[in-house]
Amino acid sequence: MKKIGVLTSGGDSPGMNAAIRAVVRSGIYHGLKVVGIKRGYEGLIHGDIEDMKISSVADIIHRGGTMLRTARSEDFKTEEGFKKAINVINVFGIDGIIVIGGDGSFRGAQSLSQAGIPTIGIPGTIDNDLAYTDYTIGFDTAINTVLHAISNIRDTSTSHERANIIEVMGRHCGDIALFSGLAGGAESIMIPEDLVSVDEVCKKLIQGKNRGKLHSIILLAEGAAENSYDIKKEIEEKAGIEVRLTILGHIQRGGSPTAFDRILASRMGGYAVDILLQGKGSRVVGMKANEICDMDISEALSMKKEIHKGMYELAQILSR
Ligand code: ADP
CA 172 distance to own-chain centroid: 12
Cβ of residue 124 lying under 6 Å from some atom of ligand 1: no
What number of CA atoms fall less than 13 Å from residue 100's CA on the CB side? 41
**170 plus 298 within the same structural domain:** no
Residues linked to residue 96 through DSSP beta bridges, in sequence order:
4
**123 plus 13 within the same structural domain:** yes
**183 plus 156 within the same structural domain:** yes
Q: Does any domain span residue 51?
A: yes
Question: What is the full per-residue pLDDT of the chain (320 aa) written as tens digits?
Answer: 999 999 999 999 999 999 999 999 999 999 999 999 999 999 999 999 999 999 999 999 999 999 999 999 999 999 999 999 999 999 999 999 999 999 999 999 999 999 999 999 999 999 999 999 999 999 999 999 999 999 999 998 888 889 999 999 999 999 999 999 999 999 999 999 998 899 999 999 999 989 988 789 999 999 999 999 999 999 999 999 999 999 999 999 999 999 999 999 999 999 999 999 999 999 999 999 999 999 999 999 999 999 999 999 999 999 87
Q: Which of 258, 222, 12 is nearest to 126 (CA)?
A: 12
Q: What confidence score (pLDDT) does residue 124 get?
A: 98
**67 plus 118 within the same structural domain:** yes
Separation of CA 101 and ligand 1 centre (Å): 9
Cβ of residue 82 lying under 6 Å from some atom of ligand 1: no
Q: Does any domain span residue 45?
A: yes
Q: Does any domain span residue 21?
A: yes
127 tagged catalytic: yes
**130 plus 275 within the same structural domain:** yes
Q: Tell me which H or E stretch contains 274.
A: helix 259-277
DSSP letters for 220-237: EEGGG-S-HHHHHHHHHH
**212 plus 102 within the same structural domain:** no
99 Cβ contact list (under 8 Å, min separation 6): 7, 9, 105, 106, 108, 109, 112, 119, 120, 121, 122
**44 plus 187 within the same structural domain:** no
Counting from 1 in the atom list of ligand 1, the atom nearest the Cα of 103 is 4
Separation of CA 81 and ligand 1 centre (Å): 13
**246 plus 276 within the same structural domain:** no
Kindly report the CATH number assigned to the domain that includes residue 280.
Answer: 3.40.50.450
Kindly report the CATH number assigned to the domain that includes residue 202.
Answer: 3.40.50.460
Q: How many domains does the chain have?
A: 2
Global pTM value: 0.97
Q: Does any domain span residue 318?
A: no
Separation of CA 310 and ligand 1 centre (Å): 32
- Residue 317 and residue 145: Cα distance in Å, rounded? 24
Range of the domain at 269: 3-138+257-302
**91 plus 178 within the same structural domain:** no
Going across the sheet that includes 243-247, the strands are 188-190, 216-221, 163-168, 243-247
**123 plus 263 within the same structural domain:** yes
**101 plus 58 within the same structural domain:** yes
**159 plus 245 within the same structural domain:** yes
107 Cβ contact list (under 8 Å, min separation 6): 301
